[in-house]
Structure formats: structure tokens, C-alpha cells
Structure 1
Amino acid sequence: MPHTPSAPLSPMHDLAREAIIRLWPVYELRRARASTSYPTLPGIGSAAEGKNWCNVFAHRRELIRPGVSKIVMPNNDTLYSVAWLDLASGPLVIDIPDMGDRYHVLGLMDSLTNPIAHLGSRLLPGGAKSVLVSGPGETAGTPPHWAGEHVRAPSRWVWIIGRILVTSPSDLPAVHKLQDGLQIRPFGDQQNAPAQFSPDCDLGAPLDARHFSTQVNAALQEMAGDQNLNAERLPSFATLGIGAGLTPSHEQIEQLEPVLQAVRQFLKTPCARRGTTHWEYLPRLGQSFGDDIHLRAHISQQYIGMVESKEAVYRMTWHDGKGQRLHGRQRYALQFAPGALPPVDAFWSLTIYESATGRLIDNPIDRYAIGDRTPGLSLDEHGGLRILISHRRPATREESNWLPAPQNDFYLCLRAYLPRADILNGLYELPPVQRLHTEEH
């Protein structure tokens, strides 16, 4: 679990630190909304100048490759479909086509980054379905003639991150068809109704107290009426110039600036615990962070968009089994014993990222992840699995199990989709990454 920052220097310093940590997810989500909504969409056209589209899905049509992701640690298993819902004008309906037995999930996140709903294989299996999403202003309950799923969002804005499994490059056309079947429409209407909004966030602006407070204050104005805010704490932040519609003075900015930079460094520290094999375990997430403001801020800073743990669990390592940093000049193996592959009800995959950027790196075989769906994966004579990890290309006979590494520092992420109890409870431990001698490879 995250550690709290060091002792405050003064009551005002303490208040500033609390305000910044409590509202850090609000800042991150505003940046995410600006970077993952679009002014132009196929089939929709261009929004007015300075506007982006909401209440409509934007689809990524190819698996994420190096150089194209706007987020850190993108997966290489699913196609993303993203939408921002503005519920200010009333409930919206999400139409989901029949996905068959293909793994999929639409993760819904409120304005404080709580993963409030998961629409997909785990909770809504079966054929085509429609889901009603209502905002905090809707008090009449579920309409009497609505028989489907109903998500009551505590916030006006809801971020949807959809993931649909792709089994191979030849599977892409089928997934595109499913993506096209995802629709958003007003309740009581059969027609899609994309809307426009002003993202009003300069993604290139430096993160200083002026920029942070401007973005947070604008977001708080939009969030008036949200049920997930701690309204008891917000009024006290006004003495710092933080609040809906406020503009901090020069003196207030000077107070906030050193605290902001200290919190920024604090949120870069790991929020995971390291196991005996040097894999790191993120805290188990549910559908709400409650009032754990430190964990909420850490996750929004480092892993924004995470679903609850019952949907997917991530294990990461920057180190080999002896605690040494992973680096492309070395060669490694990850050896799973027979019958000891990650226990999941969907699938698992191991993805490799450059440490400095958290991004995928080009490699000669165009492989960025390896897992239980990798074609040609070879088990040993006892039924175990040995994955080779190196920058240098291995012998031809070993290429089927090769995960190419960048030439510099890297880290690994094991994703377990629909994890079983042993993973959720921390009883299943991944094997250590073994550094190999040259003659072993």
C-alpha cells in the first residue's frame, strides 16, 4: 500500500497536500478526456472549432504498436473502444452486440476514477444487450418499462474504456464489426446522438500550480452535483484558491507550488508490494477506492484506466530473481513448471515495455506480448513453458517462445484476464525471471 508523505511543515502545507492528493485523479482524468476524445471521427465528421466529440465511441482498429499509444502500458491483446459520456442532458443507452464467447469488457469509470461498472463477459455474458446509464441528477429510479441492466453513475461524466479480444491478425475484420455494433443513444431514442464539448486542457502545458489549479477548478465546476465528491472537505480548499470557479492569487500559487512538486514526486513511488520472486503486486481494486485518497492518486498517476481486480490483474517486474534490474544486454528465461501457468478463466499475456517510457518498442518479429494464445508456443517434454526474453535473436528453434526485449532497461507486465481465486488472493506466485549465461541460450 502507498505510504503517506512525510510530516507536514505547517497546517497550510498539510491542507495543500491533502487538496492536491485528493484532487490529483480529477486532474489526471481531465487530461485523459482531452487526449482520448477527438475533434473528428469516421462517419461523424468534424466538431466545431475547439470542440471534441462525446457520447460516441472512438475505435482503435489495430492492435497497439510502438509509437502510436497515448497511454503508458497499453495492452497488445485487445482492441480499444473509448467513449466519454456526458449525462447532463439525461440517461444514455449503450447497445452492445452479441460477442459470443469472445472476451470483452466495457469498463465504466466515474469522475474520481472509480471503476464503477464492468459490462462484458464476466458479468453480462450471452447475446446482444442494452445498458441504461443514468447520472446523479436522475432520482426517479429505473423506468418501469426498462428490463435491462441499469448503471447509476455518481458523476455527470463517465469514461468508457472497452476492450475486445483479438485472436490473430486475420481476426481483425470480425472485431471491427463488433466495434461498429457498439452504439450510444439517448434513453427513449433509437438514434445515436453524439454531442460536442470543449476539452479546454493544454496537454503540452507544464505541470505547475497554476496549470493544476486551473484544470482542477474547471473540473470541479463541471462536477457540481456529483455524488462521489467529499463535499465536506472541498470548502476548506478555498483558502488555497482551489474550488469550483476560483482563480488562485499569486500568493496562493506560491504556496501551492512546492507542495505540488513534492506530491508529484511522492506519486512516482511504487504503490505495489514486491513478492519473493521480485514480481510486484498492485493492491486489489474493487469498484470504489472509498476515501483511500493516496491509493486513488497513485493509481490515477501510474495506471489510470485500470479495471477492478476481478476483471483483470496485473503483475509487474523490473528485476530478475536476484533483484538485478532487467536490461537488454542480458538474456533471461521465465520458466513455468508443468501445471503452473497463470490460473485464469479468460486468458493471460506477458507484455514487455521500455522502462524509460512505459511504451512498446519495435522488434524484428513484431511481437510485443506472449501468452496462452501465442501461435506455435512450445512446451517442454514435461509440459512446462519456458519463455526466452532477450534483445538478441535466439536460435531458430527457440524463436517460437521468444519475447524480444529493447536494448536498454525494460520491465514486464503479466496480465491475467478473469483471474481465479489463487491470483486474486495472492496465493499464486509467478516464477522469477532467471538471468541466463551466454552458453545457456
Structure 2
Amino acid sequence: MRLLLVVGLIAIPLVGCDRQPSSGKPAADAPRVAASTAAAAEPAVDELRAIAKDAYIWGFPLVENYKTLYQQALDRNGPNFHAPLNAIGNSANVATPEDTAIITPNSDTPYSFLWMDLRAEPLVLSIPAIGDKRYFSVQLIDLYTFNFDYINQSVTKGEAGNYLIAGPQWKGEAPKGIDKVFRSETPFAYGLMRTQLFDPQDLDNVKRLQAQYKVQPLSAFAGTPAPPAPPAVKFPPYDAAKANGPEFFSYLAFLLPYAPLNADEAGLRDRLAKIGVVPGKPFDADRLSPAARQALQDGIKDADAELANFVATQINTDKVSSADLFGSRAQLKGNAMYRFAGAKQGIYGNSASEADYQAYFVDAKGQPLDGGRHDYVLRFAKDGLPPTNAFWSMTMYDGKTKLLVDNPLDRYLINSPMLPSLKRDPDGSIALYVQAKSPGQDKESNWLPAPTGPFYVILRNYSPRPEVVDRTWKRPPMEVSR
């Protein structure tokens, strides 16, 4: 799920950055603009705080998305770098506690990563023949973090194909040999690719498939002259400390030229301008008065407090599911809190049609899960396993870091491919032991190791059956066993 499951621009010149004129389209070669003088005419502190709160809720997914873009495709010396823009990077193994670029990561499927710059021309992504037994998907995500489409088994039917991915400015025709065209609302987009690993012995097969994923510019695919290169972008380095304070709005101002204005958000954009967050103009938080700077920080705190309340009253009570938090712009219907919650607690969650996520944050009595205080058990009835067309998994996450949990078994999940190795009780049920210490050698096959502190567990179901999505199937409670 990443449901439970992103830069400092100050004094950094934006020479060569695209700038969004009144038409909403990025200019071809925008000049450098003077630093904002918002401090000279600041709104009242209460208004600043209110705008900052709404701006953070709406804008956090963009900034969190930029964090991953920067780490995976721009910071070549960083530990999470995979491949430059418009190239595919493959991860030859599943996620471990050492992987920190994405919170609440999926450890069932080795990833491939494709960050796309679609300003000059579309890209063509070629998928090999995968067959109908192995799950795979290419989740297409725009800068807003909307899942604008998928390339998966329902599209390819397990056969090889070529798929064109275009940005908002492309007006051309797809050439012969293209099986389907996908359009991104934003000129930068992400292709997050998952390829199912059946078991450790299957890893070489996954690697062979990953090596066959291919991307190229449309001109190269069609054998036509390449268009002119787009203007160079001065991408600011991502700084987590700045991104979580008033400088957050510097990141947002940088990203806005690449987030074309949607008419439904015009009012919010006008409010952003009132605090100096204007597309293409550097936002200098140091030019604000101390009171205004504190108001921005307080607005961020207000947004996080509203999220905490939303999680406690809506998500933890199952009034809102992960299916509500992730999807296309049309599916989310302008609900900024849903998008914020998804990005804050587990960015890049799948749309409901692709995967279902159910989170365990509390036990059967509504108390927060804590491996330092209790041992727990999840018991699936004989015929009560999660219904799926592909596979399901239960993955453990540290409640503080939202990352995988280091443990002596190097086991981060229990999933349906592991069913033959799990022990069943005499009545056919399966008990999973969720705790920090081993439940004993006779039960270790069913042990999901927890940290000695807060944790949560995500139940993922890929290609879920209807009874999962409509909640006709009920997951078992997390019971305290000690």
C-alpha cells in the first residue's frame, strides 16, 4: 500500500526551468525570475496558517513524489539511484530493510523503475511475453501521484507488446506497431513495474524478464528524426529537513510548472499565490517575518494533526479503505485528504482494480500494535484465506520508520506462495504468529517477526476477487496472545 502507505530551493537559481504562463502550458525557455517579495505584503498570520495547511495537504504528494524522482533518477551518487530519466533500472531482489527510498515498500515483487521526461516526445515501453501465470504490472503515475493507467495482464494478455506513453503536449499519431497509447497529465511521470517472484529459486527467471523490458523515444521506435531537446532543468537536491519545514513551499513552487493547472484547483492555486507560491518563482522562506514563518510551520502541523485524526477515525475503523486513497484523478474526485493520506503513509499504492490493501494498526480491542508489549496471532479459518486471482501477502513494517523490519530470519512477509510450508492446525486453520521473539522452533514456519516497538501489518491482495474489494470477505482480527 503503501497505505499504511516525498530540495531546498532557497538561493538556488532556476535558470532553464520551465515556467508556466497564463495559458497553463510550460514555456519553451523561461528566464530566471527574481525571488518572491511575499514578505513585503504578507497575509494575516491566521490566513497564512490556513493556506499553509491546505497547501501542504494538497502539495505533499507532489513533493514526496519529487523525493523519489530525485533519489532514484537524479542523484547518481545516492544509495537509491536506479537509472537516469528515460531509462529503466531493475532491482534484482525484493525489498529489504536497507531500502529506504519508498516507505511501506512491497517485498513480494522485484521492482523495475522508469522515470519519464515526456516534454520532448513520448516514450515507447516494450513488454516481453510473460504468460498468464505470473503477475506483473506497470503502474503509470503522474507528478500529482494519480495512477493514470496500467499496463498489466488484462492489457497484454501475457503477450509481448509496445506501449506509447505521452505527455500533455503531444498531439501526434501513434505509428504502426503500437498496441496502446497512455496519456499522462504531467510532463514528468513514473512507471513503477512489478514482476512476481514465486520463490527464491525463481529469481533468475525474474531477472531475465526484467532484462527484456525496453524503453526508447518514439522517434527511435519509428525511425524518424528526433525533436529538439527540451530546456535543461536545474533540479534542486532533496533535503528532508527542509522538505518538512517552511522550505516545503520552495519545493512546491519549483514543481508547479510541471503540474498543469486543473480547473477544479484554480481557487487553491490563487491561495498559494497569496503566500508567494507561484509557478516558476523561487520561494524564499527566509524573507518572511518570524511570525509568518511560524504560521507556515503551524499550518504544516495542523495538516498532520488532521491526518492523524483521519487515520484514527476513518482508516483504523475501516470506514475508509486503501481503495479510496489511490487511483486516477477521476476516481479520487478532488479529495485532497485521501491523496495526502496515501502519499504520507505509503506512496504509490495501487488502484483498487489492481490491488487491495488492508492495514492492521490496532489489535482486536482497538489498541495500537506494539511488539514490545504483546505477542499477537492472526488465525485464518480453513476456507478463510484471502480470495485472489493472483496472490496475497502479509508484510510487517516498523511503526516509526515505516520500513521493513530487520530480523534473524530475514523474513519480512508471509504470502500465498508460502502456503505449502505453513503449518495448519488440526481443524485446517492457519495461525500466523506476529511477535518480536520466536514462538518456538515448531512454530517458526508461521512466524512473522515484529519489532520491539510500534508496528503495522499490510495485507496486500493482487488482482483481488470481488468479495475482497466489496468487503464481503472479512479479514481475521489481530488477537493478543500474550
Q: Which interval holds the TM-score relative to the shorter structure? A: 0.7 to 0.9
2:423 to 378, 388, 393: 378
Q: Which range moves more in the overlay, 79-88 or 320-329?
A: 320-329
Partner of 2:407: 363
Partner of 2:171: 139
Q: Summarize the Cα distance change of 1:56–1:269 in structure 2 as closer, same or farther, 3 Å threshold.
A: farther
- 1:404 CA drift (Å): 1.8
Whether 1:59 aligns to 2:90 is yes
After TM superposition, the structure 1 = structure 2 runs for residues 265-304 of structure 1, keeping only pairs within 5 Å, are 265-271=305-311, 273=314, 281-284=321-324, 285-288=326-329, 289-304=332-347
Partner of 1:3: none
Q: Summarize the Cα distance change of 1:198–1:9 in structure 2 as closer, same or farther, 3 Å threshold.
A: closer
- 1:432 CA drift (Å): 0.9
Question: 2:56 and 2:354 mapped to 1: Cα distance?
Answer: 30
Q: Summarize the Cα distance change of 1:311–1:11 in structure 2 as closer, same or farther, 3 Å threshold.
A: same
Q: Is the 8 A contact 1:217 1:245 kept in 2?
A: yes
Q: Which has the higher contact order (CA 8 A, sep 6+)?
A: 2
Partner of 2:288: 250
1:33 to 69, 75, 81: 69
- Give the number of the structure whose residues are more often strand, by fraction: 1
Q: Is the 8 A contact 2:162 2:178 kept in 1?
A: no
Partner of 1:433: 478
Question: 1:436 and 1:257 mapped to 2: Cα distance?
Answer: 42
RMSD: 3.0
Partner of 1:17: 53
Partner of 1:354: 398
Partner of 1:317: 360
After TM superposition, the structure 1 = structure 2 runs for residues 225-240 of structure 1, keeping only pairs within 5 Å, are 225=260, 230-231=265-266, 233-240=268-275
Q: Summarize the Cα distance change of 1:396–1:264 in structure 2 as closer, same or farther, 3 Å threshold.
A: closer
Partner of 1:339: 383
Q: Is the 8 A contact 2:380 2:431 kept in 1?
A: yes
Over residues 112-151 of structure 1, what are the superposed CA-to-partner deviations in whole Å (9 max), with x where a residue is unaligned? 11011111124432211111011110134x4263541110
**Aligned residue pairs: how many?**
419
Q: Is the 8 A contact 2:136 2:196 kept in 1?
A: yes
Partner of 1:127: 159
Partner of 2:180: 149
Over residues 206-229 of structure 1, what are the superposed CA-to-partner deviations in whole Å (9 max), with x where a residue is unaligned? 345542121111111233x56688
Q: Is the 8 A contact 1:22 1:297 kept in 2?
A: yes
Q: Is the 8 A contact 1:280 1:317 kept in 2?
A: no
Question: 1:359 and 1:27 mapped to 2: Cα distance?
Answer: 19
Question: 2:60 and 2:235 mapped to 1: Cα distance?
Answer: 17
Q: Which amino acid aligns with 1:155?
A: T
Sequence identity (%): 27
Q: Summarize the Cα distance change of 1:319–1:268 in structure 2 as closer, same or farther, 3 Å threshold.
A: closer
- 1:382 CA drift (Å): 3.1
Q: Which range moves more in the overlay, 166-175 or 83-92?
A: 166-175
Q: Is the 8 A contact 2:316 2:362 kept in 1?
A: no
SS of 1:18 mapped into structure 2: helix
Q: Which amino acid aligns with 2:141?
A: M
TM-score, normalised with respect to structure 2: 0.79
TM-score, normalised with respect to structure 1: 0.86
Q: Which amino acid aligns with 1:119?
A: I
Q: Summarize the Cα distance change of 1:405–1:14 in structure 2 as closer, same or farther, 3 Å threshold.
A: closer
Q: Which amino acid aligns with 2:473?
A: Y
| Structure 2: gaps spanning 5 or more residues | 1-43
Partner of 2:199: 168
Partner of 1:418: 463
Over residues 260-299 of structure 1, what are the superposed CA-to-partner deviations in whole Å (9 max), with x where a residue is unaligned? 33224433444473577x8983353432223111211221
